[in-house]
Chain A
Amino acid sequence: MKKLVVASTEKSAGKTGLIVGIAAALGGKYGYIKPIGDRLLYRKKRLWDHDAALFVSLWKLDTKPEDITIGFEHAKLRYMYDREATKTKINEMVAAAGAGRDVVFIEAGNNLAFGSSVHLDPISLTKYIDGSLVLVVGGDEGSMMDEIHFFKNYIDDEGANLVGVIVNKVRDLEDFTRAYGEEIEATGIPILGIVPLEQQLKTLPVKFLVERLFARVVAGELGMDRAVESIFLGAMSVSAAMDHPMFERENKLFITSGDRSDMILAALEVHAACIVLTNNLLPPGNILSKASEAQVPVLLVPWDTFTTVEKISQIEPLLTIDAAAKIDVLKNLALKHVNLEAFAK
């Protein structure tokens, strides 16, 4: 059984998406653990990681999501485990996850240092299980190159078993390869893939937004499956809004105060994907009825517009089990841009 620790140098580099895509491209049976969680879900006294739940459902794993993660907060991890106990626990989890499987993916934390003080950094994980390390780098091109160079020095010092690096979310594939391909090769680090940025993966389903914002759905419940690609802040006059180049873009999320009936109607006219009303202000009932007729979800939040925009912009478009189209995109990206042999058993 192959044991692959998938690490990254920054948050949201795309580890989870790549694991999904690679596994889907290869076929076969896979196991998954995420020792240190970061996308915490806590309901009815159950505590689990969002990604853990995704893989349990996607790969029909015979385990509970709660058992795939040791913990989320350093305080708790420090309280519960020392190094030896951590190593024992990780090996137990890998053995359980890998039973009858070709490959076990161990998804590491947000960056190379994350989890170091509680013995759960990627290098430690790799050494505990005698596994191999795959690094995912993302972000802008300059910082990606920094990370690759840094990693080269780091891995040489640490002596962990490296499979290679996947460069992810590259804006212009041809340009990047032309500009940096040789330099990367010269580092001696195996490049397992250079994967382009795919816009479709950045969309946010409305129902996901509802959950993350703790928003109230006040109209348009039938449109909850719509996906949001961009945000439009309706703080100006309607005529100024209509002149804005972003105004008529598809699949946008309109954010405006609940007392701006004019803006809400304008948003409905241009077929907004979703409308978020701020300050807990509700518009008149006839406006909500129009939204319901158009199946445009209208969400109500208590914060002011600025705070709402801030919160929404911080929401990551996490992968969900019912996002079949996204999973397909990931599979195709892996097929086309990743050296899948490195991941096969």
Chain B
Amino acid sequence: MNHQQAPINLLFQPRSVAVVGASAIPEKIGSKIMQNLVACHYPGVIYPINPKGGDILGIPALKSLSEIRGGVDLVCIAIPAKLCAAAVEECGRIGAKHLAIITSGFSEVGNLEEENRLVAIAREYGMRITGPIIFGVYTAAASCNASFGPRDVEPGGVAIITQSGALGIAMMGKTKTEKIGLSAVVSVGNKCDVDEADLLTYLVDDERTKVILMYIEGVKDGEKLVQILPDAVKKKPVIVLKSGRSKRGAMAAASHTGSLAGADDVFSAIMRQCGVQRAENLIEALNWCKFLEKSPLPAGENTVILTNGGGIGVLATDACEKYEVNLWDNVGEMERIFADSVPAFGSYKNPVDITGQALIQDYDNSIAAALQHDNVHSLIVLGCQTAVLDAQSLPATINKALANHMTKPVVFSFFGGPQIEDAIYQLKGEGKPIFYDVYEAVACVGAAYQVMRNRKIDWGDAGVIADLAATFDRAAMTAILDGVRADGRRFLLAHEAHALMLAAGVSMPQSIVARNLDQAVKAAEQIGYPVVMKIVSKDIIHKSDAGGIALDLDNKAEVMDAFEAIMHNCREHNPKAALEGVEVVEQVAKGTETIIGARRDGSFGPIVMFGLGGIYVEVMKDVSFRALPLSRNEARRMVKEIKSYPLLLGVRGESQKDIETLLDAILRVGAILKSFDEISDIEINPLVVYDQGMGVKAVDARILLRHPAKGALA
């Protein structure tokens, strides 16, 4: 009988913890966990479980889980893999809620079957499993360090979810050095059950947690993650660090989408879509956590750089461009603000240069002037070691600035010899936002701006996909797909894809399938010249290669010649091919060529792609990705993201293009993929976009079906 699933908050607020594999031998994992639980003064009940019984760190050990009465909220299992199933079963019988399986030797070594067995047992009892292959759980809410990580953890506002055990432990150590306090650290390991999305449901509403950092190596249930992240980032910053930026995997080249959708590109795009900030490296991730935990968010986009050196000011300007920090350029007002602190030969243009002759007092004055002014929304203070700058007074100046004005983000970066380094070291030790490197400093301001901007985003109504799907002629689309399957194919012929798109409300050129020359001529005359002709044959996929396409046919004679050429070429190309006829298609007028793709990503499920289209799409690679569900606003942001977006706005005297109808097409393609589980890939290339009000036309559509035997991706 399946019990109700244990609520996730019990993982973070366990009232009792059992350690299966607890040991008195100090080097053993079971002992380390016990030591940490005791050292952090965990106030709940601790049950050391050891078949030998006895006494572990002054706590009587139980010989088995069955001796526990009244249930237990969290059980840490640190015994050999082959014994875990029995232990999990026993946990179920005693009413355990959450299991943290420390043990390794499961799916990471190919033993997926055993891992699935653990999950099946847990599900039967309503238990949740975190792991396997983890270092445990730390939670400040319960003063509980049920891990074999560092012992003395400073409580604070940063929560870490980590897929790497060793790195997670190292991060805990590093946060101590960096004076970053932790609200929770959860090691997720193989993610056989509990994953990031589950943990976020708690952390997002946890008052202690101010910032969430996720270290991810692979995403298992991306669809679940995408559902929760947008709401999470509205409440607190979410930072992700992902490893595995390797070369694109060898995706099947069945579609451009497949070949362009490198795993890392898709991951980045979807994190951006959800408002999650992706750090480049560990240091950056921890810098952002520390800064965002304590710093207020900026109230506007005006950033001022204060510097005593032109060179470092330029570096900061470059960094601001990289991290999308906007420099305030109201020179007149800055002159008024800094009139008393910038010497005559200084500069009021941002970066504001107080020159190499600036004394520490000049820094005091200019910083105070900047922070007092309502139109300065954030401040970047830079300095180079000079003969006149009193580095020893730097900590006092900075502390004064931060103490008096904690309403806007401020960062400091100084560069120089031992005295400067000593000052920085001291301030960093106090947890102040000062950096050895100007890029690190600016990156933190950039992170704050991303949080601020993300909170202002109107994410829009993601229900638009379902609304559009309701307008489809579903019966017609199903009939087409059934016909394809019955024919033993996994791809739709051109006219089938055409019909399916029309049934979904995507504008396609007029098209008629002709079985012979007479019908072809009549079709061309019905549609109107010029027309395009394409071979119809299930044995010929790449029509151009077979000489099976003729363009720009202006009259009957050209139609007849084209019919002849296409049939002859295709027969030569593949003598055994069944040539069913030709498709006579309205020739689409010239416009801006774009591409819309959709496919089922292995991690994130259904995703859509948009970009500059045509035959050079895989060379130009100017594309953007989004996961479903997708709102109209998000589709608009997706379109704006491509480098060629100005072409849609109209360049060199051209009119703006019909972006609204383009958005409609993108959403409809997403809705098709969402509505029909058997479809694996959809691609329209090109989708020609015309001037505003003139609509779009999908010139060519390719649709692939999932492999029926695997029931998985094509």
B568 beta carbon closer than 8 Å to chain A: yes
CA distance A302 to B568 in the complex (A): 21
A residues less than 8 Å from B369 (CB atoms): none
Q: How far is the CA of A45 from the CA of B518 in the complex (A)?
A: 19
* Cβ-defined contact, B545 with A75, below 8 A: no
Given contacts A75-B516, A79-B517, contact A42 B560 (CB under 8 A): no
CB of B185 closer than 8 Å to a CB of A: no
A40 interface residue (CB < 8 Å to B): yes
A40 near B568 (CB under 8 angstroms)? Answer: yes
Interface assignment of B302: CB less than 8 Å from any CB of chain A: no
In the complex, residue of chain B having the shortest beta-carbon distance to the beta carbon of A73: B564
Interface size on B, residues (CB 8 A): 20
Q: Does A297 contact B (CB under 8 A)?
A: no
- Roughly how many angstroms separate A71 CA and B557 CA in the complex, as a whole number? 12
Q: Are B560 and A76 in contact (CB under 8 A)?
A: yes
Q: Give the residue name and chain of the B residue nearest to A75 (CB).
A: B517
Within 8 A of A (CB), among B34-91: none
Chain B residues near A73 (CB, 8 Å)? 563-564, 567-568
- Asked if A45 contacts B558 (CB within 8 A), the reply is yes
Q: How far is the CB of B521 from chain A (nearest CB, A)?
A: 8
Residue in B closest to A45 when the chains form the complex, CB atoms: B558
B568 A45 Cβ-Cβ under 8 A:
no
Contact of A340 with B by CB under 8 A:
no
Measured between alpha carbons, how far is A75 from B567 in the docked complex, in Å? 10
Cβ-based interface call for B172 (8 A): no
Q: Give complex CA distance A40, B561 in Å.
A: 11
A42 / chain B contacts, CB cutoff of 8 Å: 547, 550, 561-562, 565, 569
With a cutoff of 8 Å between Cβ atoms, the chain A residues found around residue B547 in the complex are 42
Q: Does A180 belong to the interface (CB within 8 Å)?
A: no
| B553-578 CB contacts (< 8 Å) to partner A | 553, 558, 560-565, 567-569, 572
How close is B285's CB to chain A, nearest CB, in angstroms? Answer: 37
Q: Would A45 and B560 be within 8 Å (CB), given that A40-B565, A40-B568 are in contact? A: no
Instruction: Please give, as numbers and ranges, the residues of chain A lying within 8 Å of B568 by CB-CB distance.
Output: 40, 72-73
Enumerate chain A residues within 8 angstroms of B562, measured Cβ to Cβ.
Answer: 42, 45
From 534 to 563 in chain B, residues with beta carbon under 8 angstroms from any chain A beta carbon are 542, 545, 547, 550, 552-553, 558, 560-563
Q: A40-B569, A42-B550, A45-B552 are in contact. Are A76 and B564 (CB under 8 A)?
A: yes
Chain A residues whose CB sits within 8 angstroms of the CB of B569 once the complex forms: 40, 42
Residues in A whose Cβ lies below 8 Å from that of B518: 79
User: What is the interface residue range for chain A against chain B?
Assistant: 10 to 19
Q: Which residues of A contact B572 (CB under 8 A)?
A: 40
**Complex Cα gap A101–B564 (Å):** 31
Contact present for B545 and A76 (CB under 8 Å): no
Q: In whole angstroms, what is the CA distance A71 to B550 when docked?
A: 17
Q: Which residue of B lies closest to A80 (CB)?
A: B560
B243 to chain A, nearest CB (A): 28
Contact of A76 among B552, B553, B558, B563 (CB under 8 A): B563
A214 at the interface (CB under 8 A from B): yes
Residues of chain A in range 275-317 having any CB-CB distance to chain B below 8 Å? 302
Smallest Cβ distance from A57 to chain B, in angstroms? 21
- The smallest C-beta distance from A335 to any residue of chain B, in angstroms, reads 35
Q: Does A266 touch B at the CB level, under 8 Å? A: no
* Contact of A56 with B by CB under 8 A: no
A46 to B12, CA, bound (A): 76
CB interface residues, A 34-53, toward B, < 8 Å: 40, 42, 45, 47
Q: How far apart sit A75 and B518, CA to CA, in the bound complex (Å)? A: 9
> Given known contacts A45-B550, A45-B561, is B567 in contact with A302 (CB within 8 Å)?
no
Nearest B residue (CB) for A78:
B517
Q: Which residues from chain B contact A47 at a C-beta distance below 8 Å?
A: 561, 564-565
Please tell me which one of the listed residues A45, A71, A75, A214 contacts residue B553 in the complex, with CB atoms under 8 A apart: A45
Q: Which A59-83 residues sit within 8 Å CB-CB of chain B?
A: 71-73, 75-76, 79-80
Contact yes or no, B564 A214, CB < 8 A = no
| Interchain CB contact (< 8 A) of A302 among B516, B545, B552 | B545
Which residues of chain A are within 8 angstroms of B567 by Cβ–Cβ distance? 73, 75
Distance to closest chain A CB from B519 (angstroms):
11
B551 nearest in chain A by CB position: A45
Find chain B residues with CB under 8 A from A79 CB: 517-518, 560
CA of A302 to CA of B546, assembled, Å: 12
A71→B552 contact, CB < 8 A: no
Closest CB in chain B relative to A311 CB, distance in Å: 9
- In the assembled complex, the Cα of A83 lies from the Cα of B563 at a distance in Å of 22
Q: Which residues of B contact A214 (CB under 8 A)?
A: 545
A280 to B629, CA, bound (A): 37
**A80 to B517 Cα, complex, angstroms:** 10
**Using a CB-CB cutoff of 8 Å, which residues 445-499 of chain B contact chain A?**
none
Residues of A within 8 A of B553 (CB): 45
Query: Complex Cα distance A281/B518, Å?
Result: 43
Q: How far is the CA of A184 from the CA of B152 in the complex (A)?
A: 108
- Kindly state the separation between the CA atoms of A290 and B567 in the bound complex, as whole angstroms: 41
Q: Closest Cβ of chain B: how far from A94's Cβ, in Å?
A: 22
**Which residues of B lie under 8 Å from residue A75 when comparing CB positions?**
516-517, 563-564, 567
A269-B517 Cα distance, complex, nearest whole Å: 52
* Chain B residues within an 8 Å CB radius of A80: 560
Q: Tell me the complex Cα distance, A40–B572, Å.
A: 10
Interfacial chain A residues near B563, Cβ < 8 Å: 73, 75-76
A47–B564 Cα distance when bound, in Å, is: 9
What's the nearest-Cβ distance from chain A to residue B556, in Å? 11
Interface residues of B in 266-300 (CB under 8 A from A): none
Taking A45-B562, A72-B564 as given, write out 14 further A-B residue pairs in contact, using a Cβ cutoff of 8 Å, ordered by the A residue number.
A40-B568, A40-B569, A40-B572, A42-B562, A42-B565, A42-B569, A45-B550, A47-B564, A71-B564, A73-B568, A76-B560, A76-B564, A80-B560, A302-B545
The 3 A-B residue pairs with the shortest CB-CB distance in the complex, in nearest-first order: A42-B565, A47-B561, A73-B564
26 pairs, A vs B, C-beta closer than 8 Å: A40-B564, A40-B572, A42-B547, A42-B565, A42-B569, A45-B550, A45-B552, A45-B553, A45-B558, A45-B561, A45-B562, A47-B561, A47-B564, A72-B564, A73-B563, A73-B564, A73-B568, A75-B517, A75-B563, A75-B564, A76-B517, A76-B560, A79-B517, A79-B518, A79-B560, A214-B545
